[in-house]
């Protein structure tokens, strides 16, 4: 078994981080077997690995503790599900609920307000085993969705309760800025200033969509993403979180693809939609070198994409995991498991992530930042790690 290790040189920057960011014990897991089962019964496989993000944008030092804390809680929520025998798709949904319920993230509770002062959310989830995909876009929630949820035992949440003091005050500030801008400029310049204003609220570039990717010990992967969208967006705007292949992607290994992959994105929705970044990154992960493949995908398919040639800055981030089954030598020991490679990359100033295996006592968190002196939207950061989820057969 191996723990979090230097992965193609990208983990070197984490070696000097505090204990919260750098694990002191191996990222390992075990396949458990019910002791009361018969010898010929197939063991129940529980456990797995989760990687979450609290958005790609800018995370101030003053709020770093809160962002890390919500990532820890999301990881723990997913791992609790995995330990209870849940599949990857159930665990990833549990992680998203925790991320959405935090007032510090732009998803669910505390989402950005649109131009009319209302909350409209986007979200999607994908199961790598069945390839089933589901999404909602620009929901407040609508009457039909509300009635369906209530009839299925889901407690309702009035939209006014989803707004926080921070999101309301941000809306009022943005509204004043827009009213001032409208007195000076019109047309295209006005729309451009609106977007720049939403990206630079409090100097933070809040593009903090949340997401998660999970693998269970059956080898199934799943991914999910959720967002409140850009501040001051036009009512009805639907971002990447609700678009197929743009917000998230998950696909189990098959004859054509040797690796199972799961991806969740964050950033400027228009940039992520026009490049279908989630699916592009998933496809790239079938290459032998995962780190190099993601680096090239972010550079060639995103920053330098011909679909974004007119953009001065291309803003986005991804979390990615890929896995495959492995058998340890010597064969007589009958040790087998899943090799998990997990990565994150972003062109924004920062990205907050957390990760945990079912064997860990607590999640690890990290706020990745671009190197000093670099220009957001024109360069990228990439980091990650490797772990193995192991079992010993009879």
Say what the alpha-carbon torsion angle 367, 280, 356, 32 is, to the nearest 10 degrees. 180
Helix (H, G, I), strand (E, B) or coil at 211: strand
Residue 271 CB burial class (10 angstroms; 0-12, 13-18, ≥19): buried
Q: Which one from 28, 105, 186, 209 is the annotated catalytic residue?
A: 209
DSSP 102: -
The H or E element that residue 295 is part of is helix 290-298
Tell me the C-alpha distance between 321 and 250, whole Å: 10
DSSP string, 329-382: SSGGG-EEEEEEEEEEEESSSEEEEEEEETT-SS-EEEEEEPPTTPPBTTB-EE
365 counts as catalytic: no
CA angle, corner 321, sides to 32 and 79, nearest 5?
40
Helix (H, G, I), strand (E, B) or coil at 229: coil
Which residues are catalytic, by number? 209
């Amino acid at each position: 078994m191996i723990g979090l290790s230097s992965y193609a040189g990208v983990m070197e920057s984490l070696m000097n981080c505090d204990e919260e960011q750098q694990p002191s014990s191996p990222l390992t897991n075990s396949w458990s077997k019910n002791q009361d089962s018969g010898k010929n019964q197939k063991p129940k496989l529980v456990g797995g690995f989760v990687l979450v993000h609290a958005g790609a944008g800018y995370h101030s030092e003053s709020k770093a503790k809160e962002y890390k804390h919500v990532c820890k809680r999301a990881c723990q929520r997913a791992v609790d599900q995995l330990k209870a025998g849940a599949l990857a798709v159930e665990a990833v949904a549990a992680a998203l609920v925790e991320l959405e319920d935090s007032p510090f993230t732009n998803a669910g509770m505390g989402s950005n307000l649109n131009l009319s002062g209302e909350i409209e959310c986007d979200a999607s989830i994908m199961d790598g085993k069945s390839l089933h995909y589901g999404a909602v876009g620009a929901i407040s929630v609508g009457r039909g969705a509300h009635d369906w949820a209530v009839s299925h035992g889901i407690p309702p949440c009035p939209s006014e309760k989803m707004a926080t003091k921070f999101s309301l005050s941000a809306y009022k500030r943005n509204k004043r800025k827009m009213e001032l801008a409208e007195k000076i400029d019109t047309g295209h310049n006005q729309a451009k200033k609106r977007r720049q204003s939403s990206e630079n609220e409090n100097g933070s570039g809040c593009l903090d969509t949340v997401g998660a990717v999970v693998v269970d010990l059956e080898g199934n992967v799943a991914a999910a993403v959720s967002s409140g969208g850009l501040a001051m967006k036009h009512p009805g705007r639907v971002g990447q979180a609700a678009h197929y292949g743009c917000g998230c992607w998950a696909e189990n290994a098959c004859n054509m693809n040797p690796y199972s992959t799961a991806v969740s994105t964050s950033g400027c929705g228009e940039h992520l939609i026009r490049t279908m970044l989630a699916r592009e990154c998933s496809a790239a992960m079938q290459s032998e070198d995962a780190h190099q493949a993601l680096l090239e995908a972010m550079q060639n398919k995103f920053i330098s994409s011909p679909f974004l040639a007119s953009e001065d800055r291309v803003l986005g981030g991804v979390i990615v995991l890929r896995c495959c089954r492995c058998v340890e030598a010597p064969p007589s020991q009958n040790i087998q498991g899943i090799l998990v490679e997990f990565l994150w990359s972003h062109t924004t100033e920062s990205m907050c992530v957390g990760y945990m295996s079912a064997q860990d006592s607590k999640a690890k968190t990290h706020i990745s930042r671009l190197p000093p002196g670099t220009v957001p939207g024109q360069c990228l950061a990439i980091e990650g790690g490797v772990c193995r989820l192991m079992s010993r057969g009879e």
